[in-house]
Structure 1
Amino acid sequence: MESIKVIDYLNKRPVTFKATMSVAEASERLLLSHQSGGPVLNDNKQVIGFLSEQDCIKRMLHDTYLSEAFFTVQEIMTSSPLTVTAEHSIFELAQQMTENKPKIYPVVDSDNHLIGTIGRTEVLKAIDIHLHAIYEKGHARFV
């Protein structure tokens, strides 16, 4: 399981945001992407934050109540989000995800440039594939 790496299961086309984007625009981008969150990038494509559906819901609910809509992603994003590298172990990431950690992690290179994202669904898929491979090996011995 240690040999299973994030690079093999990451989402290479995650939804991304700019810090200056309005919350309404970011929410629309989330809806169109069918993803529950994504990294906020600076002009150099480095990860500077993370924006989730929950962040948007909180802000938009507040804005609806006050009939306002002028907040930006930078004001509601999680700054300095937890990230992983492409060589990170799926097993270690799965252990981190059992706690109250993010559901999606930006995957970055050594300069903090975005490579993709990996979430619970991809981690679950990796573990499932690994377990099926173990089962098939074990089952083949008894046939």
Structure 2
Amino acid sequence: MQSLKVSDYMNPQPVTFAPDMSIESAVMRLLQTGQRGGPVVDQQGQLVGFFSEQDCLATLLLETYHNEQGTKVGDCMYQGAVVTVAANASIADLAQQMTNNRPKIYPVMDDSGQLLGVITRTDILRAIKDHCQTLSPGKVSVAS
């Protein structure tokens, strides 16, 4: 399974956000795409944070309570060191990391720090399922 790489299973067209995007627009993007979050990138395409459903819940509740709007993604996104993964990383190694309650979504970066895509726990599960089916065709039955 070490031969399976993140680049083979990542989503190369992830939902992304800009720091100056309104929280309302960001929530609409999450709802329309069914994603739970995504990388926040600046105008140069550099990763500056991560925005998730969890990040905006408290903000939306507060805005609703005070009947205010105007919060930007940059105001409530996670701004710490975002955990990322390299495109050539092993699926097995990333799966092991994910078992330790790490993020559910990892931005996939190239060597120059540019965003290439994202990979989720669901993508990892699909990779493991595919690998098992290759080893034992017909023995792994996963409903689609």
- The aligned counterpart of 1:92 is 93
Residues 1-143 of structure 1 aligned to structure 2 (within 5 Å): 1-79=1-79, 80-136=81-137
Q: Distance in 2 between matches of 1:49 and 1:57?
A: 17
Contact 1:106 1:117 in 2 (8 A): yes
Q: Bigger CA drift: 87-96 or 52-61? A: 52-61
Q: Percent sequence identity over matched residues?
A: 46
SS in 1 for 2:126: helix
SS in 1 for 2:89: coil
**5+ unaligned residues in a row in structure 1: which ranges?**
139-143
> What TM-score comes out, normalization by structure 1 length?
0.91
Cα deviation, 1:83-107, whole Å, max 9, x if unaligned, reads 0010011111111111221110000
> What TM-score comes out, normalization by structure 2 length?
0.90
**5+ unaligned residues in a row in structure 2: which ranges?**
140-144
Q: Bigger CA drift: 123-132 or 50-59? A: 50-59
Give 1:51 shift.
0.4
SS in 1 for 2:136: helix
Runs of 4+ more than 6 Å apart = none
Contact 1:30 1:37 in 2 (8 A): yes
Give 1:137 shift.
9.7
Give 1:136 shift.
2.8
Q: Name the structure where helix makes up a greater proportion of residues.
A: 1
Q: Which of structures 1 and 2 has the bigger CA Rg?
A: 1
- Taking only aligned residues, the RMSD between alpha carbons, in angstroms, comes to 1.5
Give the residue type in structure 1 aligned to 2:87. Answer: A
Q: Distance in 2 between matches of 1:58 and 1:121?
A: 26
How many residues matched? 138
Contact 1:46 1:111 in 2 (8 A): no
Give the residue type in structure 2 aligned to 1:45. Answer: G
